[in-house]
Protein backbone atom coordinates (compact mmCIF):
# COMPACT_ATOMS: atom_id res chain seq x y z
CA UNK A 1 0.00 0.00 0.00
CA UNK A 2 1.55 3.36 -1.00
CA UNK A 3 2.26 5.83 1.82
CA UNK A 4 -0.42 8.42 2.50
CA UNK A 5 0.44 12.02 1.55
CA UNK A 6 1.06 14.34 4.52
CA UNK A 7 -1.98 16.06 5.99
CA UNK A 8 -2.30 19.78 5.16
CA UNK A 9 -0.97 22.28 7.71
CA UNK A 10 -3.50 23.54 10.25
CA UNK A 11 -3.18 27.29 10.82
CA UNK A 12 -4.47 28.94 14.01
CA UNK A 13 -4.47 32.75 14.28
CA UNK A 14 -5.06 34.44 17.64
CA UNK A 15 -6.01 38.08 18.38
CA UNK A 16 -3.22 38.60 20.94
CA UNK A 17 -0.05 36.92 22.11
CA UNK A 18 -1.66 36.22 25.49
CA UNK A 19 -4.48 34.26 23.83
CA UNK A 20 -1.87 32.38 21.78
CA UNK A 21 0.10 31.51 24.95
CA UNK A 22 -3.02 30.21 26.73
CA UNK A 23 -4.17 28.25 23.67
CA UNK A 24 -0.72 26.74 23.16
CA UNK A 25 -0.62 25.59 26.79
CA UNK A 26 -4.05 24.01 26.34
CA UNK A 27 -2.83 22.23 23.21
CA UNK A 28 0.35 20.93 24.85
CA UNK A 29 -1.57 19.56 27.83
CA UNK A 30 -4.02 17.78 25.53
CA UNK A 31 -1.14 16.35 23.49
CA UNK A 32 0.40 15.10 26.73
CA UNK A 33 -2.86 13.47 27.83
CA UNK A 34 -3.26 11.79 24.43
CA UNK A 35 0.32 10.48 24.50
CA UNK A 36 0.17 9.17 28.06
CA UNK A 37 -3.12 7.38 27.39
CA UNK A 38 -1.73 5.72 24.26
CA UNK A 39 1.96 5.22 25.06
CA UNK A 40 2.40 5.76 28.80
CA UNK A 41 4.74 8.76 28.49
CA UNK A 42 5.07 12.11 26.73
CA UNK A 43 8.15 12.83 24.59
CA UNK A 44 8.56 16.48 23.67
CA UNK A 45 11.30 18.41 21.85
CA UNK A 46 11.75 22.13 22.54
CA UNK A 47 13.24 25.01 20.55
CA UNK A 48 14.96 28.22 21.55
CA UNK A 49 14.19 31.92 21.41
CA UNK A 50 10.68 33.37 21.35
CA UNK A 51 9.19 29.87 21.24
CA UNK A 52 10.49 29.25 24.75
CA UNK A 53 8.93 32.50 26.01
CA UNK A 54 5.57 31.45 24.59
CA UNK A 55 5.59 28.32 26.77
CA UNK A 56 5.14 30.32 29.96
CA UNK A 57 1.44 29.42 29.90
CA UNK A 58 2.32 25.88 31.00
CA UNK A 59 3.26 27.10 34.48
CA UNK A 60 0.34 26.56 36.85
CA UNK A 61 -1.61 24.31 34.50
CA UNK A 62 -3.69 21.67 36.27
CA UNK A 63 -3.88 17.98 35.42
CA UNK A 64 -0.37 17.87 33.97
CA UNK A 65 1.48 14.58 34.52
CA UNK A 66 4.93 16.12 34.74
CA UNK A 67 6.45 12.82 35.85
CA UNK A 68 5.57 11.36 32.44
CA UNK A 69 7.44 14.03 30.46
CA UNK A 70 10.67 13.25 28.62
CA UNK A 71 12.15 16.55 27.40
CA UNK A 72 14.65 16.85 24.56
CA UNK A 73 15.91 19.85 22.60
CA UNK A 74 15.51 20.25 18.83
CA UNK A 75 18.90 21.93 18.62
CA UNK A 76 21.54 23.26 20.94
CA UNK A 77 24.46 25.64 20.76
CA UNK A 78 27.87 24.27 21.73
CA UNK A 79 27.96 26.49 24.81
CA UNK A 80 27.73 25.86 28.56
CA UNK A 81 24.20 25.06 29.73
CA UNK A 82 24.05 28.27 31.78
CA UNK A 83 24.87 30.43 28.72
CA UNK A 84 22.26 32.85 27.40
CA UNK A 85 22.75 31.18 24.01
CA UNK A 86 21.72 27.78 25.36
CA UNK A 87 18.37 26.35 24.25
CA UNK A 88 18.19 24.51 27.56
CA UNK A 89 18.81 27.73 29.48
CA UNK A 90 16.10 29.69 27.62
CA UNK A 91 13.55 26.98 28.41
CA UNK A 92 14.67 26.79 32.04
CA UNK A 93 13.97 30.52 32.34
CA UNK A 94 10.61 30.35 30.58
CA UNK A 95 9.03 27.38 32.35
CA UNK A 96 11.17 24.31 33.11
CA UNK A 97 12.44 25.72 36.41
CA UNK A 98 8.84 26.23 37.58
CA UNK A 99 7.45 22.75 36.89
CA UNK A 100 8.26 19.43 38.64
CA UNK A 101 9.70 17.42 35.76
CA UNK A 102 12.31 15.03 37.24
CA UNK A 103 15.78 16.36 36.24
CA UNK A 104 16.75 12.93 34.86
CA UNK A 105 13.95 13.33 32.30
CA UNK A 106 15.33 16.60 30.88
CA UNK A 107 17.90 15.46 28.33
CA UNK A 108 20.70 17.96 27.74
CA UNK A 109 23.96 17.88 25.84
CA UNK A 110 27.09 16.74 27.66
CA UNK A 111 28.98 19.99 28.50
CA UNK A 112 32.27 18.09 28.72
CA UNK A 113 32.14 17.55 24.93
CA UNK A 114 31.77 21.18 23.83
CA UNK A 115 35.15 21.20 22.09
CA UNK A 116 34.27 18.22 19.87
CA UNK A 117 31.14 18.89 17.82
CA UNK A 118 31.04 15.42 16.28
CA UNK A 119 31.19 13.75 19.68
CA UNK A 120 28.63 16.20 21.05
CA UNK A 121 26.16 15.29 18.29
CA UNK A 122 26.90 11.56 18.57
CA UNK A 123 26.35 11.57 22.32
CA UNK A 124 23.00 13.35 21.97
CA UNK A 125 21.93 10.92 19.24
CA UNK A 126 22.83 8.06 21.59
CA UNK A 127 20.45 9.56 24.15
CA UNK A 128 17.68 9.48 21.54
CA UNK A 129 18.54 5.90 20.56
CA UNK A 130 18.54 4.82 24.20
CA UNK A 131 15.16 6.39 24.81
CA UNK A 132 13.34 5.43 21.61
CA UNK A 133 14.90 2.10 20.63
CA UNK A 134 12.98 0.01 23.15
CA UNK A 135 9.56 1.33 22.19
CA UNK A 136 10.02 2.41 18.60
CA UNK A 137 11.11 0.10 15.82
CA UNK A 138 10.82 2.82 13.17
CA UNK A 139 13.75 4.19 11.20
CA UNK A 140 13.59 7.49 13.11
CA UNK A 141 12.45 8.50 16.60
CA UNK A 142 8.79 9.47 16.84
CA UNK A 143 8.24 12.38 19.21
CA UNK A 144 4.75 13.01 20.55
CA UNK A 145 5.26 16.76 20.11
CA UNK A 146 7.96 18.94 18.56
CA UNK A 147 7.69 22.66 19.26
CA UNK A 148 9.42 24.72 16.60
CA UNK A 149 10.12 28.34 15.75
CA UNK A 150 10.45 30.14 12.43
CA UNK A 151 13.74 31.96 11.90
CA UNK A 152 14.12 35.16 9.90
CA UNK A 153 15.33 33.21 6.85
CA UNK A 154 12.81 30.39 7.20
CA UNK A 155 15.10 28.13 9.23
CA UNK A 156 13.89 25.92 12.07
CA UNK A 157 15.91 24.15 14.75
CA UNK A 158 19.38 24.80 13.23
CA UNK A 159 18.39 23.79 9.71
CA UNK A 160 19.14 26.78 7.48
CA UNK A 161 18.10 27.41 3.86
CA UNK A 162 20.63 26.02 1.39
CA UNK A 163 22.65 24.22 4.06
CA UNK A 164 23.94 20.72 3.36
CA UNK A 165 22.34 19.41 6.57
CA UNK A 166 18.93 19.68 4.91
CA UNK A 167 19.94 16.65 2.83
CA UNK A 168 21.04 14.53 5.79
CA UNK A 169 19.02 11.28 5.86
CA UNK A 170 21.07 8.94 8.07
CA UNK A 171 21.90 10.81 11.27
CA UNK A 172 19.26 11.73 13.81
CA UNK A 173 21.46 14.50 15.20
CA UNK A 174 24.02 16.42 13.12
CA UNK A 175 26.49 19.21 13.82
CA UNK A 176 27.43 22.45 12.08
CA UNK A 177 30.08 25.09 12.64
CA UNK A 178 28.85 27.71 10.18
CA UNK A 179 25.45 28.90 11.44
CA UNK A 180 24.81 32.27 9.74
CA UNK A 181 23.61 33.95 12.93
CA UNK A 182 24.10 33.48 16.63
CA UNK A 183 26.49 30.80 17.87
CA UNK A 184 28.16 29.23 14.84
CA UNK A 185 28.85 25.86 16.49
CA UNK A 186 25.69 23.83 17.13
CA UNK A 187 24.04 20.44 16.98
CA UNK A 188 20.55 19.91 15.56
CA UNK A 189 17.98 17.22 15.01
CA UNK A 190 17.73 16.48 11.30
CA UNK A 191 14.80 16.96 8.96
CA UNK A 192 13.74 13.26 8.96
CA UNK A 193 13.33 13.45 12.74
CA UNK A 194 11.18 16.56 12.42
CA UNK A 195 9.01 14.87 9.79
CA UNK A 196 8.39 11.66 11.76
CA UNK A 197 6.72 13.11 14.86
CA UNK A 198 3.06 12.75 15.79
CA UNK A 199 2.59 16.51 16.04
CA UNK A 200 4.85 19.38 14.95
CA UNK A 201 3.85 22.86 16.12
CA UNK A 202 5.32 26.12 14.83
CA UNK A 203 4.78 29.11 17.11
CA UNK A 204 5.25 32.65 15.79
CA UNK A 205 4.45 36.04 17.22
CA UNK A 206 5.16 39.65 16.31
CA UNK A 207 5.03 41.68 13.11
CA UNK A 208 8.70 40.94 12.36
CA UNK A 209 7.68 37.36 11.52
CA UNK A 210 4.82 38.32 9.18
CA UNK A 211 6.81 38.16 5.92
CA UNK A 212 8.35 34.79 6.72
CA UNK A 213 5.12 33.14 7.91
CA UNK A 214 3.53 34.29 4.65
CA UNK A 215 6.38 32.70 2.68
CA UNK A 216 6.28 29.45 4.65
CA UNK A 217 2.53 28.86 4.39
CA UNK A 218 1.67 30.56 1.09
CA UNK A 219 4.75 29.64 -0.93
CA UNK A 220 5.71 26.09 0.09
CA UNK A 221 7.17 25.54 -3.38
CA UNK A 222 10.11 27.74 -2.35
CA UNK A 223 11.23 24.87 -0.14
CA UNK A 224 12.15 26.82 2.99
CA UNK A 225 13.13 24.51 5.87
CA UNK A 226 9.95 25.34 7.80
CA UNK A 227 7.80 24.53 4.74
CA UNK A 228 9.49 21.14 4.49
CA UNK A 229 8.34 20.02 7.93
CA UNK A 230 5.31 17.98 6.85
CA UNK A 231 5.16 14.95 9.14
CA UNK A 232 4.59 11.60 7.48
CA UNK A 233 1.23 9.93 8.06
CA UNK A 234 -0.23 9.85 10.71
CA UNK A 235 1.66 12.98 11.81
CA UNK A 236 0.19 16.50 11.79
CA UNK A 237 1.68 20.00 11.57
CA UNK A 238 0.17 23.10 13.17
CA UNK A 239 0.98 26.81 13.02
CA UNK A 240 0.11 29.05 15.99
CA UNK A 241 0.41 32.78 15.22
CA UNK A 242 -0.73 35.97 16.82
CA UNK A 243 -2.54 38.63 14.79
CA UNK A 244 0.61 40.59 13.97
CA UNK A 245 2.55 37.56 12.72
CA UNK A 246 -0.46 36.38 10.68
CA UNK A 247 -1.13 39.76 9.05
CA UNK A 248 0.20 38.85 5.57
CA UNK A 249 -0.67 35.15 5.45
CA UNK A 250 -3.32 34.15 2.93
CA UNK A 251 -3.53 30.49 3.97
CA UNK A 252 -6.97 30.14 5.62
CA UNK A 253 -6.99 29.97 9.42
CA UNK A 254 -8.94 27.28 11.26
CA UNK A 255 -10.97 27.98 14.39
CA UNK A 256 -8.91 26.74 17.33
CA UNK A 257 -9.91 23.30 18.52
CA UNK A 258 -8.26 19.97 19.24
CA UNK A 259 -7.61 18.01 16.05
CA UNK A 260 -6.81 14.37 16.59
CA UNK A 261 -6.07 12.84 13.19
CA UNK A 262 -5.43 13.42 9.48
CA UNK A 263 -9.12 13.22 8.54
CA UNK A 264 -10.02 15.95 11.04
CA UNK A 265 -7.09 18.09 9.86
CA UNK A 266 -8.13 17.79 6.21
CA UNK A 267 -11.77 18.57 7.00
CA UNK A 268 -10.80 21.59 9.11
CA UNK A 269 -8.56 23.03 6.38
CA UNK A 270 -11.19 22.42 3.68
CA UNK A 271 -13.82 24.17 5.82
CA UNK A 272 -11.48 27.13 6.32
CA UNK A 273 -10.84 27.27 2.57
CA UNK A 274 -14.59 27.31 1.83
CA UNK A 275 -15.12 30.06 4.39
CA UNK A 276 -12.35 32.14 2.80
CA UNK A 277 -13.76 31.58 -0.69
CA UNK A 278 -17.21 32.75 0.45
CA UNK A 279 -15.77 35.87 2.06
CA UNK A 280 -13.77 36.78 -1.05
CA UNK A 281 -16.83 36.19 -3.26
CA UNK A 282 -18.94 38.44 -1.04
CA UNK A 283 -16.28 41.16 -1.19
CA UNK A 284 -16.47 40.98 -4.98
CA UNK A 285 -20.25 41.25 -4.85
CA UNK A 286 -20.75 37.75 -6.24
CA UNK A 287 -23.62 35.50 -5.29
CA UNK A 288 -22.44 32.87 -2.84
CA UNK A 289 -23.49 29.28 -3.52
CA UNK A 290 -24.06 27.19 -0.37
pLDDT in tens, 203-239: 999 999 999 999 999 999 999 999 999 999 889 999 9
Average pLDDT over residues 273-289: 75
Q: Does residue 209 sit within a domain?
A: yes
- Asked if residue 197 and residue 273 are part of one domain, the reply reads no
- Asked if residue 281 and residue 157 are part of one domain, the reply reads no
100-156 pLDDT, tens digit per residue, is 999 999 999 999 999 999 999 999 999 999 999 866 556 889 999 999 999 999 999
Q: Does residue 3 sit within a domain?
A: no
Query: What is the per-residue pLDDT for 282?
Result: 74
SS (H, E, C) 8-57: CCEEEEECCHHHHHHHHHHHHHHHHHHHHHHHCCEEEEECCCHHHHCCHH
Q: The whole model's pTM is what?
A: 0.93
- Asked if residue 254 and residue 239 are part of one domain, the reply reads yes
- The 3-state DSSP class for residue 150 equals coil
What lies within 8 Å, CB to CB, of 271 at 6+ separation is 254
Distance CA 65, CA 184 (A): 36
Domain that holds residue 180: 10-258
Task: Write out the H or E segment, with its range, that includes residue 263.
Answer: helix 262-283
Average pLDDT over residues 241-261: 94
Amino acid sequence: MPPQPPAPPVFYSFPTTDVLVDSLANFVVKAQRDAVEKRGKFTIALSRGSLAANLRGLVGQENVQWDKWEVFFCDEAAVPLESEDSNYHSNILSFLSDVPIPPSQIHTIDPSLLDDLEELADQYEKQLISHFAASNAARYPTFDLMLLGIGIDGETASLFPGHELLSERDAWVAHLDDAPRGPKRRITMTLPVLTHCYRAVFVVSGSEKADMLHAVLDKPEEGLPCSRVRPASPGLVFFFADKDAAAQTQYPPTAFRWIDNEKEAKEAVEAAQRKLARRLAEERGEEVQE
